[in-house]
């Protein structure tokens, strides 16, 4: 039976404590900053702005519920690095790594400072290399980055602490600072904190129209908000609002998760319980994480793990091939063949042509802030975005200049029907998603 995005609940949403939805906006309001979207980008921006400016009136409009989008449907890997950037100069690469680590540190700090009850772990992930040339290059890069003070390790195949050894796996980079985050548990815990800080959050409040100017106006079915600044925190949904239509490519990603098992059980099957997750170097990147409760979440690795709708629609209507995603998982972990799949779901990922995300400010009045196009690395980057956008708002953003996402110009993507045709022809013929190769930094 076809799934729609609403029926199709992630593991994270399925196990969240029930909560009555917050009321929808039903009046005409004025405020200082209006944020559109209640995912990591919108909520982190609200947090940093409210913390710095307790006197400012901040309103957040979420079309459905907080964590409805990718933030509540992802694979849970909280990784360093900016997707699409190929490491070049070690000093610059170390700067990028330190910036993204700050995104993870921010999540950790918010959890700690506010005593949040969140399902997450930060005990490192593996980036698996499946080609000998790639593994050799990774080993050299790790050596150069260690010389810059980064705590990365290269593990060759025989040293891998688990049996994450897809045939052809040549080695992996271990990053001890990355981890796993249950986005629904995080954003649900953050919501009352924002409310206490004075942020007004409206759920069931889709923004249907945006008018820019020195004062921006957003219209919703029940009301409107006028604000001196606007934040677009809608990632894959942004083209529907009329922004970045020729720069963003919303793609659905399908994910499975297994039944819960004990750490000892997984260790016997080959997944060292000390490792929070992994991803690999395939174009259709495979990724998996071990939740702190003992479920394995897995996605990617094959065309069947993704889907694109004509016009970049963000409502999933079609059959997702979860059986193939499961088969792919078993190629990584054949020992898990008898562990049933307990959940499966799909959600919108937002790709840019070269996979590099963008965070910046635009508009004639320079008051429309945006952070989007995370291309699958948004758990860290969308949480970092709140700080970057708050710095842009405060004109204290000089430290971000030179980083690949800062005021990033995303490349042009052909319109429909070339886009739909191009995607389907290229993925069928090559098994790869069309892309412009990454930039060396």
Ligand X SMILES: Cc1cc2nc3c(=O)[nH]c(=O)nc-3n(C[C@H](O)[C@H](O)[C@H](O)COP(=O)(O)OP(=O)(O)OC[C@H]3O[C@@H](n4cnc5c(N)ncnc54)[C@H](O)[C@@H]3O)c2cc1C
* Binding site residues, ligand X, CB under 6 A: 36-42, 61-64, 68-71, 73-77, 79, 206-207, 233-237, 241, 253, 255, 287, 299, 347-349, 374, 376-380, 382
Mark out the alpha helices in 148-248 (DSSP H runs).
Answer: 183-196
- Cα–Cα distance between 182 and 73 in angstroms, integer? 9
Q: How far is the CB of 338 from ligand X (least distance, A)?
A: 25
Taking the least distance from each CB to ligand X, the nearer of 36 and 94 is 36
Taking the least distance from each CB to ligand X, the nearer of 75 and 84 is 75
Q: Write the DSSP symbol of residue 284.
A: S
Residues in the chain: 441
Q: How far is the CB of 279 from ligand X (least distance, A)?
A: 8
CA-atom Rg of the chain in angstroms? 21
Q: How far is the CB of 169 from ligand X (least distance, A)?
A: 19
CB-side neighbour CA atoms (13 Å) of 308 = 25
Residue 230: name the closest of 3, 428, 389 by CA: 389
Using a 10 angstrom Cβ sphere, with 0-12 exposed, 13-18 middle and 19 or more buried, the burial of residue 178 is buried
Residue 45: name the closest of 405, 403, 400, 393 by CA: 393
Taking the least distance from each CB to ligand X, the nearer of 157 and 226 is 226
Taking the least distance from each CB to ligand X, the nearer of 242 and 340 is 242
Taking the least distance from each CB to ligand X, the nearer of 2 and 54 is 2
Taking the least distance from each CB to ligand X, the nearer of 169 and 240 is 240
Residue 288: name the closest of 119, 77, 74 by CA: 77
Taking the least distance from each CB to ligand X, the nearer of 162 and 352 is 352
DSSP bridge pairs for 406: 359
Select the residue whose beta carbon is closest to ligand X and give its number: 378
Q: How far is the CB of 10 from ligand X (least distance, A)?
A: 8
Q: How far is the CB of 268 from ligand X (least distance, A)?
A: 25
Q: Write the DSSP symbol of residue 214.
A: S
Q: How far is the CB of 168 from ligand X (least distance, A)?
A: 22
**Residue 130 CB neighbour total at 10 angstroms:** 17
Measured CA to CA in angstroms, residue 306 lies from 302, 346, 427, 429 at distances of 8, 9, 10, 15
Q: How far is the CB of 99 from ligand X (least distance, A)?
A: 15
């Amino acid at each position: 039976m076809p799934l729609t995005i609403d029926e199709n609940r992630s593991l994270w949403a399925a196990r969240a404590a029930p909560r009555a939805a917050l009321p929808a906006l039903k009046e005409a309001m004025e405020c200082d900053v209006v944020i559109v979207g209640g995912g990591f980008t919108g909520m982190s921006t609200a947090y940093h702005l409210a913390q710095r400016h307790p006197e400012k009136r901040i309103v957040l409009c979420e079309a459905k519920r907080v964590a409805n989008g990718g933030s509540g449907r992802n694979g849970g890997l909280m990784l360093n690095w900016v997707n699409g950037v190929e490491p070049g100069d070690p000093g610059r690469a170390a700067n990028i790594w330190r910036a993204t680590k700050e995104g993870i540190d921010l999540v950790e700090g918010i959890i700690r400072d506010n005593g949040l009850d969140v399902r997450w772990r930060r005990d490192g992930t593996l980036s698996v290399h499946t080609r000998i040339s790639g593994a050799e290059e990774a080993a050299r890069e790790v050596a150069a980055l260690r010389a810059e003070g980064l705590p990365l390790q290269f593990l060759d195949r025989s040293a891998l602490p688990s049996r994450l050894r897809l045939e052809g796996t040549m080695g992996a980079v271990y990053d001890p600072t990355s981890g796993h985050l249950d986005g629904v548990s995080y954003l649900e815990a953050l919501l009352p904190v924002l409310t206490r800080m004075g942020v007004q959050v409206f759920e069931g409040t889709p923004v249907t129209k945006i008018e820019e100017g020195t004062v921006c106006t957003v219209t919703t079915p029940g009301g409107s908000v006028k604000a001196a600044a606007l934040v677009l925190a809608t990632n894959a949904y942004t083209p529907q609002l009329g922004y970045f239509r020729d720069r963003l490519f919303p793609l659905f990603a399908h994910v499975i998760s297994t039944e819960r098992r004990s750490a000892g059980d997984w260790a016997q099957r080959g997944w060292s319980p000390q490792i929070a997750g992994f991803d690999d170097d395939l174009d259709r990147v495979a990724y998996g994480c071990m939740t702190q409760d003992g479920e394995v979440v897995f996605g990617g690795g094959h065309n069947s793990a993704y889907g694109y709708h004509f016009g970049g629609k963000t409502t999933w209507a079609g059959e997702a091939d979860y059986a193939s995603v499961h088969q792919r998982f078993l190629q990584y972990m054949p020992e898990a063949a008898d562990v049933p799949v307990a959940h499966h779901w799909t959600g919108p990922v937002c790709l840019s042509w070269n996979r590099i995300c963008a965070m910046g400010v635009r508009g004639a009045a320079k008051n429309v802030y945006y952070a989007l196009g995370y291309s699958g690395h948004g758990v860290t980057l969308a949480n970092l975005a709140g700080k970057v956008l708050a710095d842009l708002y405060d004109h204290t953003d000089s430290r971000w200049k030179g980083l690949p996402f800062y005021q990033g110009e995303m490349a042009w993507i052909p319109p429909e029907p070339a886009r739909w045709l191009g995607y389907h022809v290229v993925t069928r013929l090559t098994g790869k998603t069309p892309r412009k190769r990454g930039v060396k930094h």
